Protein backbone atom coordinates (compact mmCIF):
# COMPACT_ATOMS: atom_id res chain seq x y z
CA UNK A 1 0.00 0.00 0.00
CA UNK A 2 1.45 3.42 -0.86
CA UNK A 3 2.82 5.03 2.27
CA UNK A 4 0.77 8.18 1.90
CA UNK A 5 -2.60 6.43 1.83
CA UNK A 6 -4.31 6.98 5.12
CA UNK A 7 -5.73 3.98 6.92
CA UNK A 8 -9.47 4.06 7.12
CA UNK A 9 -10.87 1.11 9.00
CA UNK A 10 -14.48 1.17 10.19
CA UNK A 11 -15.05 0.16 13.81
CA UNK A 12 -18.24 -1.54 14.98
CA UNK A 13 -21.07 1.00 14.89
CA UNK A 14 -21.06 3.21 17.97
CA UNK A 15 -24.14 5.06 19.21
CA UNK A 16 -23.26 8.19 17.27
CA UNK A 17 -25.84 10.81 16.23
CA UNK A 18 -27.49 9.76 13.00
CA UNK A 19 -26.28 6.18 13.46
CA UNK A 20 -23.05 6.81 11.53
CA UNK A 21 -20.21 4.42 12.22
CA UNK A 22 -17.25 5.94 13.99
CA UNK A 23 -14.17 5.63 11.84
CA UNK A 24 -10.68 5.45 13.13
CA UNK A 25 -7.85 6.99 11.16
CA UNK A 26 -4.25 5.89 11.37
CA UNK A 27 -1.04 7.85 11.18
CA UNK A 28 0.48 7.64 7.67
CA UNK A 29 3.97 7.60 9.22
CA UNK A 30 3.83 5.25 12.23
CA UNK A 31 0.35 3.66 11.81
CA UNK A 32 -0.81 4.49 15.32
CA UNK A 33 -4.35 5.91 15.62
CA UNK A 34 -4.79 9.61 14.96
CA UNK A 35 -6.97 11.74 17.17
CA UNK A 36 -8.93 14.84 16.28
CA UNK A 37 -7.91 17.84 18.32
CA UNK A 38 -9.84 21.10 18.32
CA UNK A 39 -7.28 23.85 18.67
CA UNK A 40 -7.50 27.62 18.62
CA UNK A 41 -7.14 27.72 14.84
CA UNK A 42 -9.68 24.97 14.28
CA UNK A 43 -9.66 21.19 14.31
CA UNK A 44 -6.64 19.16 13.25
CA UNK A 45 -5.40 15.59 13.68
CA UNK A 46 -2.47 14.58 15.87
CA UNK A 47 -0.79 11.19 16.19
CA UNK A 48 -1.31 9.30 19.44
CA UNK A 49 2.35 8.30 19.09
CA UNK A 50 3.27 11.88 20.07
CA UNK A 51 5.92 12.92 21.18
CA UNK A 52 7.85 10.18 19.33
CA UNK A 53 5.78 10.86 16.21
CA UNK A 54 5.05 14.50 15.48
CA UNK A 55 2.78 13.92 12.52
CA UNK A 56 -0.17 16.24 12.41
CA UNK A 57 -2.69 16.55 9.60
CA UNK A 58 -5.36 19.00 8.57
CA UNK A 59 -9.00 18.24 9.15
CA UNK A 60 -11.06 17.89 5.99
CA UNK A 61 -14.71 16.84 6.38
CA UNK A 62 -13.88 15.38 9.78
CA UNK A 63 -11.07 13.23 8.36
CA UNK A 64 -7.30 13.72 8.46
CA UNK A 65 -5.83 15.18 5.29
CA UNK A 66 -2.37 16.36 4.19
CA UNK A 67 -3.96 19.34 2.52
CA UNK A 68 -5.84 22.11 4.22
CA UNK A 69 -9.49 22.39 3.34
CA UNK A 70 -9.44 25.52 1.20
CA UNK A 71 -12.60 25.04 -0.77
CA UNK A 72 -14.38 27.70 1.15
CA UNK A 73 -13.17 31.25 1.04
CA UNK A 74 -14.00 34.27 3.13
CA UNK A 75 -16.50 36.42 1.20
CA UNK A 76 -14.84 39.56 2.54
CA UNK A 77 -11.07 38.98 2.25
CA UNK A 78 -10.96 35.66 0.23
CA UNK A 79 -8.75 33.86 2.77
CA UNK A 80 -9.65 30.26 3.64
CA UNK A 81 -12.49 29.60 6.04
CA UNK A 82 -12.16 27.03 8.82
CA UNK A 83 -15.03 25.08 10.29
CA UNK A 84 -15.06 25.07 14.07
CA UNK A 85 -17.41 24.04 16.79
CA UNK A 86 -18.53 25.68 19.98
CA UNK A 87 -21.25 24.96 22.52
CA UNK A 88 -23.90 26.26 20.07
CA UNK A 89 -22.73 24.04 17.20
CA UNK A 90 -20.65 24.47 14.07
CA UNK A 91 -19.63 27.77 12.51
CA UNK A 92 -16.99 29.02 10.07
CA UNK A 93 -14.39 31.65 10.71
CA UNK A 94 -11.86 33.38 8.54
CA UNK A 95 -8.15 32.48 8.79
CA UNK A 96 -7.52 36.20 8.41
CA UNK A 97 -8.83 36.87 11.91
CA UNK A 98 -5.38 37.84 13.17
CA UNK A 99 -5.16 40.26 10.22
CA UNK A 100 -8.36 41.91 11.36
CA UNK A 101 -11.03 40.02 9.43
CA UNK A 102 -13.82 39.16 11.83
CA UNK A 103 -15.94 37.21 9.35
CA UNK A 104 -17.95 34.41 10.90
CA UNK A 105 -20.52 32.41 9.01
CA UNK A 106 -23.17 30.01 10.19
CA UNK A 107 -22.82 26.36 9.22
CA UNK A 108 -25.36 25.02 6.75
CA UNK A 109 -25.09 21.20 6.70
CA UNK A 110 -21.29 21.22 6.61
CA UNK A 111 -20.80 24.18 4.28
CA UNK A 112 -20.67 27.89 5.11
CA UNK A 113 -24.10 29.47 4.98
CA UNK A 114 -24.71 31.77 2.02
CA UNK A 115 -23.64 35.27 2.77
CA UNK A 116 -24.28 38.67 1.27
CA UNK A 117 -22.11 41.74 1.28
CA UNK A 118 -22.96 45.36 1.81
CA UNK A 119 -22.61 47.11 -1.56
CA UNK A 120 -21.35 50.22 0.23
CA UNK A 121 -18.59 48.97 2.54
CA UNK A 122 -18.06 45.35 1.43
CA UNK A 123 -18.71 43.87 4.86
CA UNK A 124 -21.23 41.13 5.54
CA UNK A 125 -24.92 41.76 5.90
CA UNK A 126 -26.86 40.42 8.82
CA UNK A 127 -30.44 39.29 8.73
CA UNK A 128 -32.41 41.18 11.30
CA UNK A 129 -35.97 41.31 12.46
CA UNK A 130 -37.48 44.74 12.89
CA UNK A 131 -40.94 46.14 13.58
CA UNK A 132 -41.89 45.81 9.91
CA UNK A 133 -40.46 42.29 9.52
CA UNK A 134 -37.21 40.78 8.31
CA UNK A 135 -34.59 43.00 6.68
CA UNK A 136 -30.84 42.89 5.98
CA UNK A 137 -28.56 45.38 7.67
CA UNK A 138 -24.82 45.96 7.40
CA UNK A 139 -22.76 44.20 10.07
CA UNK A 140 -20.82 47.46 10.47
CA UNK A 141 -23.85 49.18 12.00
CA UNK A 142 -23.79 51.87 13.38
CA UNK A 143 -20.81 52.98 11.21
CA UNK A 144 -22.66 51.80 8.10
CA UNK A 145 -26.43 52.09 8.25
CA UNK A 146 -27.48 50.64 4.91
CA UNK A 147 -30.34 48.16 4.93
CA UNK A 148 -32.20 46.14 2.30
CA UNK A 149 -35.59 44.44 2.46
CA UNK A 150 -35.72 40.66 2.55
CA UNK A 151 -37.04 38.73 -0.43
CA UNK A 152 -37.21 34.93 -0.09
CA UNK A 153 -34.42 34.87 2.47
CA UNK A 154 -32.06 37.10 0.47
CA UNK A 155 -31.43 40.81 0.52
CA UNK A 156 -33.35 42.48 -2.28
CA UNK A 157 -30.61 44.55 -3.92
CA UNK A 158 -33.03 45.73 -6.61
CA UNK A 159 -34.68 47.87 -4.02
CA UNK A 160 -32.65 50.98 -3.32
CA UNK A 161 -31.04 50.71 0.10
CA UNK A 162 -32.22 52.96 2.83
CA UNK A 163 -29.50 54.68 4.79
Residues of the shown chain interacting with Zn ion in the complex, contacts defined by CB under 5 A: 27, 29-30, 47, 49, 53, 55, 74, 76-77, 79, 94, 96, 101, 103, 118, 120-121, 138, 140, 144
| Residue from 67, 104, 69, 73 nearest 89 by CA | 104
As measured in angstroms, the least distance from the Cβ of 94 to Zn ion is 3
Q: Which is nearer to Zn ion, 53 or 68 (CB)?
A: 53
Cα separation values, 150 from 125, 130, 146, Å:
11, 11, 13
Q: Which is nearer to Zn ion, 6 or 53 (CB)?
A: 53
Q: Which is nearer to Zn ion, 13 or 145 (CB)?
A: 145
As measured in angstroms, the least distance from the Cβ of 137 to Zn ion is 9
As measured in angstroms, the least distance from the Cβ of 144 to Zn ion is 3
CA distance 84 to 67: 17
As measured in angstroms, the least distance from the Cβ of 18 to Zn ion is 29
Inter-residue contact 21 to 10 (CB < 8 Å) = yes
φ and ψ at residue 18, rounded to 5 degrees: 80, 0
Q: Which is nearer to Zn ion, 12 or 90 (CB)?
A: 90
Residues 6+ apart with CB under 8 A from 121: 138, 140, 143, 144, 146
Amino acid sequence: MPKDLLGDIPLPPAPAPGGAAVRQHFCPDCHKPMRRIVGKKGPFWGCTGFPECKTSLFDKDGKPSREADERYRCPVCTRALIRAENSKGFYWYCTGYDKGCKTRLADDNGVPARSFRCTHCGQLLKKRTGKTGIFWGCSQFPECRHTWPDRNGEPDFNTKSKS
